[in-house]
């Protein structure tokens, strides 16, 4: 399984809206079609198939399936809504109250200003890429169920990974679009006419897939680094989904299992290093010169004007005095042209491309601090006040803050939401999903987003997709 280590050395898909020329280098593009996914030969140490994979070749040996899965992770890292360039962490940070947007990309401006329409290119890209990844996962699952060439241990490992991917992508789709199709087949005729499923049923399928994945995956990180999903990663996502679906007891129990398997990083300056003890799943970046995180390249400000994003005053004001996260996770830059304009930026990741010979930071997808806050919220809902305080204080104390003064359920839930805000900002859209699931989006965003509508809690189903499949109607309200 060492071949599954994500290590893209020569390829990155350029996009027309990657206009940050000062920061971006020219990418050497070498594209292969694998399961309908663009990928490169150096993504893994084995040679991936040269054409669309079919069952007779994909499932004849472990290395080929590892290549197929590695290409799935490549797609998730660089092209999906998880991308550090145009994914949830940045765009939904601007959609909520974390980031101000300064550049001129029309689609990103609409997201920032809540002017999203049913033909929004980002909404379409996220939708189509997610289902492309899901199709690839289903193709792997289907092939594994029919293979006689692999050992049972290999079949379990690969199927578990594919089930996790399928569950994760569907969970993100449901969070953004509400009712969505849950795709479990590669049958094009069926998929092209499928209807949307109620959001609650989508989450039920996510939970079922994750429980299956947990039963198949092992606890060991097979590549030696935390870059390939294993049982811990599936459990971390399941704890989150239990929280989102208000299964408090199960959320507490699952988060506890994850918390027992990792150590919270004691030093806030080391949380986002690749060796962080609290990392549960990370995306490994390319080799030099693209060997650090995409997030840093888009969030760090090193010239004004020309910046893309800056941290909002609302987020800055949310930090308490003495919070070490404000000192170490927020950076500041003053314009050299006028010497007066100063902007703050998200500085969790500190190394941009071509600054270090070796990668120092990997992009974190899941980390332990979230599990503490999941369990704290679940315990508060269950009226376990002392337990909720203990979990909340673990995160506060690590940041140099005193224990919480919240002493009842209502105050604790407010305190936990506040702690999630300053702990998880610009990470995978957590702030937006929190406001949405807690029914706080209108309360928080209406005063600061002039175009805010209550229907903005969901993105539109892309009109292109509806025109191809009328069973996706009706459109989400407001579009």
Nearest to 423 by CA among 380, 381, 368: 368
Determine the pLDDT at residue 51.
31
Contact 139, 64 (CB under 8 A): no
Of the CA atoms within 13 Å of residue 252, those in its CB half-sphere come to 14
Q: What is the pLDDT of residue 74?
A: 96
Checking if the pLDDT of 78 tops 70, the result is yes
Indicate left, alpha or beta for 429 from its phi (over 0: left) and psi (-120 to 50: alpha): left
What's the rounded mean pLDDT across residues 271-286? 96
What pLDDT is stored for residue 91 in this prediction?
98
pLDDT attached to residue 223: 87
Domain ranges for the chain: 2-290+362-472
CB atoms within 10 A of CB 433: 22
In the prediction, which pLDDT does 31 show?
Answer: 25
Give residue 286's pLDDT.
87
**The predicted structure's pLDDT at residue 58:** 57
Residue 43 has pLDDT above 70, yes or no: no
What pLDDT, on a 0 to 100 scale, did the predictor assign at position 337?
83
Q: What is the pLDDT of residues 290-319, one digit of tens each?
A: 889 999 999 999 999 989 999 999 999 999
pLDDT at 339: 85
Instruction: Tell me the two tokens of residue 399.
Output: 């940041």
Summarised one tens digit per residue, pLDDT across range 323-374 is 999 999 999 999 988 888 999 999 999 999 888 889 999 999 999 999 999 9
> For position 443, what pLDDT does the model report?
97
Q: How far apart are CA 192 and CA 153, in angstroms?
A: 34
- Asked if 164 and 231 touch (Cβ cutoff 8 Å), the reply is no
The yes-or-no verdict on residue 110 having pLDDT over 70 is yes
Residues 6+ apart with CB under 8 A from 458: 176, 177, 178, 476, 477, 478
Q: How does the average pLDDT of the chain come out, rounded?
A: 89
Instruction: Report pLDDT digits (tens) over 208-259.
Output: 999 999 999 999 999 899 999 999 999 999 999 999 999 999 999 999 999 9
pLDDT at 106: 95
Least confident range from 136-150, 154-168, 177-191: namely 136-150
pLDDT at 71: 95
Residues above pLDDT 90, as percent of the chain: 81
* Tokens linked to 277: 């003890």
pLDDT of res. 52: 36
Instruction: Indicate if the pLDDT at residue 18 is higher than 50.
Output: no
Say yes or no to pLDDT of 36 above 70: no
The domain 2-290+362-472 having CATH identifier 3.40.50.300: the answer here is no
């Amino acid at each position: 399984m060492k071949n599954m280590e994500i290590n893209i050395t020569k390829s990155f898909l350029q996009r027309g809206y990657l206009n940050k020329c000062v920061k971006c280098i020219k990418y050497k593009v070498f594209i292969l079609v694998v399961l309908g996914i663009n990928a490169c030969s150096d993504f893994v140490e084995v040679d991936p198939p040269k054409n669309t994979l079919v069952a007779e070749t994909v499932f004849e040996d472990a290395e080929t399936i590892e290549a197929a899965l590695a290409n799935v992770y490549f797609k998730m890292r660089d092209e999906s809504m998880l991308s550090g360039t145009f994914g949830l962490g940045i765009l939904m940070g601007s959609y909520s109250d974390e980031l101000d947007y300064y550049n001129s990309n029309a689609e990103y401006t609409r997201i920032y200003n809540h002017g999203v329409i049913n033909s929004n290119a980002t909404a379409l890209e996220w939708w189509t890429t997610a289902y492309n990844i899901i199709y690839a996962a289903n193709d792997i699952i289907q092939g594994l169920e029919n293979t006689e060439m692999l050992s049972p241990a290999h079949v379990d490992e690969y199927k578990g990974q594919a089930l996790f991917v399928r569950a994760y992508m569907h969970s993100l789709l449901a969070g953004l679009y509400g009712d969505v199709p849950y795709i479990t087949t590669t049958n094009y005729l069926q998929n092209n006419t499928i209807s949307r499923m109620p959001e609650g049923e989508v989450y039920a399928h996510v939970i079922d897939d994750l429980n299956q994945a947990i039963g198949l995956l092992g606890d060991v990180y097979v590549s030696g680094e935390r870059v390939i999903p294993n049982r811990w990663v599936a459990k971390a996502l399941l704890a989150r989904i239990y929280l989102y679906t208000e299964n408090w007891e199960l959320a507490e129990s699952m988060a506890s299992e994850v918390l027992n398997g990792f150590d919270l990083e004691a030093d806030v300056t080391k949380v986002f290093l690749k060796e962080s003890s609290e990392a549960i799943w990370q995306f490994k970046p390319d080799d030099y010169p693209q060997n650090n995180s995409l997030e840093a390249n888009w969030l760090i400000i090193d010239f004004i004007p020309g910046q893309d994003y800056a941290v909002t005053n609302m987020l800055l004001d949310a930090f308490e005095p003495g919070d070490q996260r404000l000192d170490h996770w927020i950076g500041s830059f003053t314009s050299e042209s006028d010497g007066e304009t100063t902007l703050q930026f998200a500085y969790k990741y500190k190394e941009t491309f071509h600054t270090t010979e070796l990668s120092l930071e990997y992009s974190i997808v899941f980390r332990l601090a979230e599990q503490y806050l999941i369990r704290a919220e679940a315990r508060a809902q269950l009226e376990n006040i002392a337990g909720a305080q203990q979990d909340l204080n673990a995160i506060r104390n690590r940041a140099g803050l005193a224990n919480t003064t919240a002493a009842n359920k209502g105050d604790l839930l407010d305190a936990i939401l506040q702690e999630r805000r300053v702990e998880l900002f610009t990470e995978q859209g957590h702030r937006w999903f929190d406001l949405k699931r807690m029914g706080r989006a209108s309360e928080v965003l209406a005063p600061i987003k002039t175009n805010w509508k209550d229907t903005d809690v969901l993105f539109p189903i892309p009109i292109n997709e509806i025109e191809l499949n009328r069973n996706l109607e009706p459109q989400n309200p407001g579009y």
